[in-house]
Amino acid sequence: MMPFRPYLALALAALFAPYAHAGEVRAAVAANFAAPMQRIAAEFEKDTRHKAIMAFGATGAFQTQIANGAPFDVLVAADEATPARLEALQLSVPGTRLTYATGRLVVWSSRPGVVDGQGRVLSEGRFSHLAIASPKLAPYGAAAMEAIANLKLGRSLQPKLVQGANIAQAYQFVATGNAELGFVALSQVWHDGRLIGGSGWIVPASFHAPIRQDAMLLAPGAANPAARALMDYLKSRKAVDIIRSYGYER
Q: Is residue 96 part of a domain?
A: yes
pLDDT tens track for 46-99: 999 999 999 999 999 999 999 999 999 999 999 999 999 999 999 999 999 999
**Cα–Cα distances in angstroms (integers) from residue 31 to residues 76, 89, 195, in the given order:** 10, 23, 19
Based on the domain organization, do 153 and 35 belong to the same domain? no
Tell me if 139 is assigned to some domain: yes
pLDDT, tens digit, for every residue of 113-124? Answer: 999 999 999 999
The 3 state secondary structure assigned to 16-74 is HHHHHCCCEEEEEEEHHHHHHHHHHHHHHHHHHCCEEEEEEECHHHHHHHHHCCCCCCE
The predicted pLDDT at position 22 comes to 84
201 and 109, same structural domain? yes
Domain count for the chain, please give it: 2
Q: What is the pLDDT of residue 6?
A: 47
Note whether residue 9 is domain-resident. Answer: no
Residue-wise pLDDT for 142-163, tens only, equals: 999 999 999 999 999 999 999 9
CATH of the domain at 194: 3.40.190.10
Residue 4 lies in a domain: no
Residues 160 and 126 in one domain: yes
* Residue 127 shares a structural domain with residue 177: yes
Residue 250 falls within a domain, yes or no?
A: no
What's the pTM? 0.84
Question: Same structural domain for residues 83 and 179?
Answer: no
For 47, the domain range is 24-102+211-245
